[in-house]
């Protein structure tokens, strides 16, 4: 009985999804209308918005739902990481295509450029009061790093260039030190 009920339920869901995929179907139009009505009522009615949020929170607080969401997150993360490790990554290609498309759209649309500039400016101004806390967070994270592990990882990532960086740093440091000594000695 349980198996037949589950099969009937899955079959019904498949039919609904198949109808929603059709661009001009009545089911898709009814679904879109229902979503728009729900959004409008949530905006207009604080009481309905509160009931909706309470129901959402009760749903998300269930241990089974949290375990299910964690499982989905872990699986999606694994899929993305595996794909990114592949030489012909679909994720990388999708991001590249999306960024190129966005750049093209922004290059052709002055109004969108102005809106993006304004949004970035508002975001920067909103973050500005938090800059002390952001700096403290970065400091705390960096202080938690193990120096040997970090050095080893940098050497692996940067490789032989690290020797040139060290040499250049030494030479520049020595040059600045000599310049400061001369300035202090002459003045």
Structure token digits, residue 14:
């498949």
Give the other-Cβ count within 10 Å of 25's Cβ: 13
DSSP string, 19-78: HHHSTT-HHHHHHHHHHHHHHHHHHH-HHHHHHHHHHHHHHHHSHHHHHHHHHHHHHHHH
CA 100 to chain centre: 18
Is the pLDDT higher at 148 or at 73?
73
pLDDT in tens, 136-169: 888 888 888 888 887 787 777 776 676 777 778 8
Question: What are the sequence ranges of the domains in the chain?
Answer: 110-144, 146-187
Nearest-10 crossing angle of helices 2-21, 26-44: 90
**Per-residue confidence band for 74, with pLDDT thresholds at 50, 70 and 90:** very high
Render pLDDT for 45-63 as a digit per residue (tens, 0 to 9).
899 989 988 999 999 898 9
Tokens of 102: 């966005």
pTM for the model stands at: 0.39
Of 27-36, 56-65, 79-88, 129-138, minimum mean pLDDT range: 129-138
Task: Identify the burial level of 182 via C-beta atoms within 10 angstroms of its C-beta, where 0-12 means exposed, 13-18 middle and 19 or more buried.
Answer: exposed
pLDDT range class, residue 94, cuts 50, 70, 90: very high
Angle at which helices 110-127 and 90-108 pack, to 10 degrees?
110
Note whether 105 and 112 are within 8 A (CB): yes
Q: 42-78 as b/e, with b when 16 or more CB fall inside 10 Å?
A: eeeeeeeeeeeeeeeeeeeeeeeeeeeeeeeeeeeee
CA distance 36 to 52: 15
The pLDDT tens digits for 7-22 are: 888 888 898 888 888 8
Pair 32, 25: CB distance under 8 Å: no
């Amino acid at each position: 009985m349980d198996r037949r009920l589950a099969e009937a339920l899955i079959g019904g869901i498949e039919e609904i999804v198949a109808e929603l995929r059709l661009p001009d179907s009545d089911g898709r139009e009814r679904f879109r209308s229902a979503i728009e009505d729900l959004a409008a009522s949530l905006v207009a009615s604080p009481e309905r918005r509160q009931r909706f949020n309470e129901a959402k929170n009760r749903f998300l607080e269930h241990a089974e739902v949290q375990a299910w969401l964690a499982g989905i997150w872990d699986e999606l993360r694994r899929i993305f990481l595996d794909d990114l490790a592949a030489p012909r990554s679909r994720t990388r290609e999708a991001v590249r295509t999306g960024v190129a498309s966005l750049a093209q759209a922004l290059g052709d649309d002055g109004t969108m450029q102005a809106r993006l500039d304004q949004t970035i400016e508002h975001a920067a101004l909103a973050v500005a009061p938090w800059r002390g806390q952001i700096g403290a967070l970065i400091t705390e994270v960096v202080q938690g790093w193990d120096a040997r592990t970090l050095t080893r990882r940098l050497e692996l990532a940067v490789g032989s260039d690290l020797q040139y960086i060290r040499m250049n740093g030494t030479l520049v440091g020595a040059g600045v030190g000599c310049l400061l000594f001369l300035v202090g000695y002459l003045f």
